[in-house]
Amino acid sequence: WLTGSTLNVYSQIGLVMLIGLAAKNGILIVEFINQLRDRGMDFDEAVIEGAAVRLRPILMTGITTAAGTLPLILSSGAGAETRQVIGIVVLFGVSFSSLLTLFVIPLLYQVLARRTSSPKATQHQLERELEDVGQRA
């Protein structure tokens, strides 16, 4: 819309790629926070630490992907219109989704997962109970 292009097959291919990249980044943050919680870290500390540690890899992925679209956007010649559409969708989409991933995912995790236990909490509890039973026997 901003560039005067239409939503066509090429822009939809770029959108599918964006969905995969944004989902991967979100999964990486949430999984790392869960690992920190499994190690016994406090909930708020785990969210802050997880977002801080994953900041650099997400930024690096976003910047390299955006830089990779520049030749597509700046290209000319036969078929340049189609390459430019994919490049524009990916450039702006990756930039926007990276910012959303870095700020919105930790915020949503903090709001939605606050009252949950760590993913391996049940496993740790069962291991403690088995140790207690083994010591009594």
The tens-digit pLDDT sequence of the chain (137 residues) is 676 777 778 788 888 888 988 898 889 899 999 999 988 888 999 999 999 998 898 889 889 988 988 888 887 888 777 778 888 888 888 988 888 888 899 999 999 988 888 777 777 778 888 888 877 76
Q: What is the pLDDT of residue 1?
A: 65
The amino acid that residue 63 corresponds to is I
Two structure tokens written together for 100: 């959303």
118 φ, ψ to 5°? -65, 150
The reported pLDDT for the residue numbered 45 is 93
**Tokens at 81, concatenated:** 């219109």
Amino acid occupying residue 34: N
Phi, psi of 86 (to 5 degrees): -60, -45
- DSSP at 137: -
Distance CA 11, CA 72 (A): 13
Give me the amino acid identity at 130.
Answer: L
* Main-chain dihedrals φ then ψ at residue 119, nearest 5 degrees: -55, -30
